[in-house]
Amino acid sequence: MLSVSPASAQDWAKARLNNSPRHADWAEIKSGDRKIKAFVVYPERKDKAP
């Protein structure tokens, strides 16, 4: 049996994502003779990430 949840069931997740501080960048990754572009999103940090 397949069940579909109402959109409101995910409101808590959308609110949490909208309120979390994130940083987004385009990254260029070398792959042989080519470069691949990737959009990377990660949490903001005060200190440098390991």
42: closest CA among 20, 23, 19? Answer: 23
Backbone φ, ψ for residue 34 (5° rounding): -110, 165
Q: Read off the pLDDT of residues 1-50 as tens digits, 9 standing for 90 and up.
A: 566 666 676 888 888 888 888 888 999 999 999 999 999 988 888 888 77
CB 41 within 8 A of CB 21: no
Residue carrying the six token digits 């579909």: 4
- Its pTM stands at 0.47
How many CA atoms lie within 13 Å of 17's alpha carbon, on the beta-carbon side?
A: 7
